[in-house]
Each structure stands twice: as C-alpha cells, then as structure tokens.
C-alpha cells in the first residue's frame, strides 16, 4: 500500500464531506441539529434526565449514522472499484482512505456535538479534559460503524438499498445502546450492541471514573468489536462487494 496514494484518496474523501450537500448534512449538520433538538426536548429534570445524561447518547447517535453514509458511498462507487483493477491504485488503498476519513469525520462529529452541548450548558464532572479523552474512544468505535457499513454495502447493489439495509444495524444501537431507558427485559439485548458500551464508557469518562474496572471493560469491548467488525467488513466487501 502506497502512502502517497492513500493520502490522495483521503484528501478526496474529506473534500466530498464539504462539497456534497448530502454528506455535509448527514455527517455534520445532522448531529448539530440533533444536539439542539434533543437537549431542549429531553434534558428536563421532570423527565428524570439532565443534559449530562443526554450528551453521551448524542455522540453515539452521530457516529452510528456513519453506517448509512459508508453503505451509500461504497454501494455507489462499485464501478470505481472495478476500474481500480486497471490502475496502479489498489482497493486496499481505497478502503484504507475510507476508514481514515470516517474516523476523522467521527471526531469532527464529536467536536460539533460537544461544542454545541457546552454552549447549551453541558458541564462534565471531570472537566474539559474528559472531552479530549472521549475523542479517541469515539474514533475507535467509529471503526465498527465503518465495518457495518461495509457489510451493508456488500449486499447492496444500489445506494438506496444500502440506506435501507443500514438501519438493520442503526436502529438496535439507537434504541438499546443510548440514553433511551432500558428495562430489565431489554437489558440482555442492550449488552449485545456495541453502542451500549460506548454510551456507558462515555458516562464514566464524564463522571471522572477513569480507573474503574467497568470503564476498562467497556473500552475492551469497544476495541475488540470495532477491530473484528472492520476486518469482517473489509473481508466480505473485498471478496463479494465489487462483483
């Protein structure tokens, strides 16, 4: 894999984020809009929730929607991937640029969410440093979203199909892995979705429980699931996705 080719593709992908209105909305404006609406709607003591309990869920929401954008991107660029076989550039370099660009996008999303939340009154108990710690943790979790996006794109022949199928991975993580209350009957389901561990881990980070065994466990689960998911996604898409 040539670093220069990887760098060039990465720059192209980041330019797409700015130049394409749909990508700009889904990846940056949507998290911003979601943050404003959810904070004003749900951070009400009468509902038993505070702004500090809502923000970790908003971070999860923002990052899991990468599944849809990755599925759309890879589904629409099958022809480009086929053409790569006739150029010095490889599919590994293309997929690598997608992984890097989406990890950067995830961190930009987190910055957008935290900036707006802070302006609206979010104050983590452990101070601003906890936000800096949350950035790399979220970037690692973003790998799982890219992996699920690749898996979705493998069976999607068109971007529209990829959008619909991506919600098979998005919805369970939205309803069972964020600030939406989990009952005793759905607790077992919540433990099966990776977003649950990011949400719990972020809560602990913002509370200042940086040395708790539960946080180390959450980080281990996030890292393991992310690595396995991205490897599976790359394997499946490289073998079947560009047919």
Instruction: Specify the pLDDT at position 46.
Output: 65
What the block records as the tokens of 89 is 């550039």
Instruction: Specify the pLDDT at position 232.
Output: 92
Check pLDDT > 90 for residue 218. Answer: yes
The number of CA neighbours under 13 Å toward the Cβ of 42 is 20
Instruction: Specify the pLDDT at position 12.
Output: 73
Instruction: Specify the pLDDT at position 186.
Output: 74
Q: Tell me the average pLDDT across 191-212.
A: 91
Average per-residue pLDDT for the chain: 82
Give CA angle at 102 (108, 170), nearest 5°.
Answer: 95
pLDDT, tens only, 26-45: 777 888 888 888 888 877 66
Q: Tell me the average pLDDT across 101-127.
A: 87
Is the model more confident about 5 or about 127? Answer: 127
Give Cα 20 distance to the centre of its chain.
19
Instruction: Specify the pLDDT at position 194.
Output: 92
Nearest to 146 by CA among 210, 234, 220: 234
Instruction: Specify the pLDDT at position 228.
Output: 95
| Window from 102-111, 186-195, 233-242 with minimum mean pLDDT | 233-242
Top-ranked range on mean pLDDT: pick from 1-10, 28-37, 41-50, 182-191 = 28-37
pLDDT, tens only, 74-86: 777 665 666 655 5
Q: Determine what percent of the chain is predicted with pLDDT higher than 90.
A: 23
Instruction: Specify the pLDDT at position 90.
Output: 64
């Amino acid at each position: 894999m040539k670093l220069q080719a990887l760098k060039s593709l990465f720059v192209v992908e980041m330019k797409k984020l700015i130049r394409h209105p749909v990508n700009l909305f889904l990846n940056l404006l949507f998290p911003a809009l979601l943050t404003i609406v959810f904070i004003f709607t749900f951070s009400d003591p009468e509902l038993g929730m505070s702004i500090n309990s809502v923000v970790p869920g908003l971070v999860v929401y923002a990052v899991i929607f990468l599944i849809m954008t990755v599925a759309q991107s890879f589904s629409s660029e099958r022809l480009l991937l086929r053409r790569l076989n006739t150029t010095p550039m490889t599919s590994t370099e293309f997929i690598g640029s997608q992984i890097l660009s989406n990890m950067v996008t995830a961190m930009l999303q987190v910055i957008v969410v935290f900036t707006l939340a802070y302006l609206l009154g979010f104050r983590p108990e452990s101070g601003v440093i906890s936000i800096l710690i949350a950035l790399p943790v979220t970037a690692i979790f973003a790998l799982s979203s890219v992996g699920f996006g690749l898996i979705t794109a493998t069976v999607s022949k068109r971007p529209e199909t990829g959008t619909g199928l991506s919600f098979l991975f998005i919805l369970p993580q939205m309803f069972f892995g964020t600030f939406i209350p989990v009952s005793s009957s759905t607790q077992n389901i919540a433990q099966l979705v990776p977003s649950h561990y990011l949400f719990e881990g972020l809560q602990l980070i913002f509370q200042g429980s940086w040395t708790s065994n539960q946080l180390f466990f959450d980080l281990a689960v996030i890292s393991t699931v992310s690595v396995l998911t991205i490897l599976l996604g790359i394997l499946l898409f490289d073998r079947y996705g560009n047919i």
